[in-house]
């Protein structure tokens, strides 16, 4: 395993690395941690538990659906993304519009082309008013 320390302070253990000069055509299933520096044309899914993590580096590219516990996105994705846990969108990255997640973190310069639904906030009992000048 290759331990990687994330900006959040957590240590990510990678079981598999797809190198920057590698291209894989076909479905990938993984358990634990997967880092992609190269190109994958096909669906990627974690088959372990909700702690499985996919890390797509700046040079990484995925054309296909991604389904994982956690996603650290630094590269390009062309396809739907589903994370049972969190998505971390790194700087200067665009995440496509078909996205499902429990929580999301977007670094400065990151773009999420997702449609955010309006959810009512819990009633705090306070009233707000708008003052116009």
pLDDT tens by residue, 28-82: 999 999 999 999 999 999 998 888 999 999 999 999 999 999 999 999 999 999 9
Sequential DSSP letters for 42-64: S-EEE-S-TT-EEEE-TT-EEES
Of 6, 30, 26, which is closest to residue 87 (Cα–Cα)? 6
Task: Round to whole Å and give the CA distance between 28 and 47.
Answer: 10
User: Cβ of 33: how many Cβ atoms within 10 Å?
Assistant: 26
Q: What is the mean pLDDT of residues 105-115?
A: 83
pLDDT of residue 130: 44
Residue 5 has pLDDT above 70, yes or no: no
- Using 50, 70 and 90 to split pLDDT, how confident is the model at 131? very low
């Amino acid at each position: 395993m290759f331990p990687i320390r994330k900006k959040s302070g957590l240590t990510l253990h990678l079981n598999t690395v797809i190198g920057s000069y590698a291209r894989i055509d076909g479905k990938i299933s993984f358990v634990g941690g997967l880092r992609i520096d190269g190109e994958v044309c096909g669906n990627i899914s974690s088959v372990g538990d909700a702690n499985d993590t996919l890390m797509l580096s700046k040079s990484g590219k995925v054309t296909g659906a991604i389904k994982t516990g956690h996603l650290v996105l630094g590269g390009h994705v062309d396809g739907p993304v589903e994370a049972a846990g969190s998505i971390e969108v790194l700087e200067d990255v665009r995440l496509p519009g078909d996205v499902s997640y429990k929580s999301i973190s977007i670094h400065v310069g990151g773009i999420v082309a997702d449609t955010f639904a309006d959810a009512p906030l819990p009633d705090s009992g306070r009233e707000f008013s708008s003052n116009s000048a």
